Amino acid sequence: MSRETTETYCCGILTISDKGSRGERQDTSGPQLREQLGAAGPYIISKYAIVADDPTAITATLTNWCDRQGLDLILTTGGTGVSPSDQTPETTRPLLDKEIPGISEMMRMASFQKTAHAVLSRGVAGIRKRCLIINLPGSERAARENLETILPGLAHAIYKIKGGSKDCGS
């Protein structure tokens, strides 16, 4: 077995929602992602939080989880639409060392096959230090479908980000 298939990855799920952070709405997308990612294989969910659609709170959580906690993967859910309060992509993008547009493009393309509203999704994906950060939509269904789309390539992406030397075509 290769290192890529035997290593486990520490992950965090960050729900970004004003109502969720105030307890006015139950978070369904975060727990869905936790269950889905946990069932997918080499992922250990070690962090979960709900924060408001506030750039300071989002930045503090993402930088703490990447820089201090050393997570390998962070999935955010929420704040990727066009509402005035949606600020997740604008907050995430400056924190990234490298953007990976193919991840977001693939999610939007797959989502568009199901709903024309997918064109309104603005999530970004990229690398901070050795952590992959991916913005997912806030609805439980859209978050699940988007993760399904990219899940087959996640372990390999994280392996490569952490310095894995196995060829991509292997």
Is residue 40 in a domain?
yes
Q: How buried is residue 123: exposed, middle or buried, by Cβ count under 10 Å (0-12/13-18/19+)?
A: buried
Cβ pair 146, 83 in contact under 8 A: no
Q: The domain that contains 109 carries what CATH number?
A: 3.40.980.10
Cβ pair 132, 125 in contact under 8 A: yes
pLDDT of residue 4: 47
Is residue 93 in a domain?
yes
Token pair in block for residue 60: 């503090």
Is residue 166 in a domain?
no
Is residue 69 in a domain?
yes
Structural domain of 40: 3-161
Is residue 167 in a domain?
no
pLDDT of residue 103: 98
Is residue 139 in a domain?
yes
pLDDT of residue 150: 97
Taking residue 146's Cβ as centre, other Cβ atoms within 10 Å add up to: 29
32 phi and psi angles, rounded to 5 deg: -60, -45
pLDDT of residue 69: 98
pLDDT of residue 166: 74
pLDDT of residue 3: 41
Q: How many domains does the chain have?
A: 1
pLDDT in tens, the chain (170 residues): 344 456 899 999 999 999 999 999 999 999 999 999 999 989 999 999 999 999 999 999 999 999 999 999 999 999 999 999 999 999 999 999 999 999 999 999 999 999 888 888 999 999 999 999 999 999 999 999 999 999 999 999 999 999 998 776 65
What are residue 135's DSSP bridge partners?
A: 76
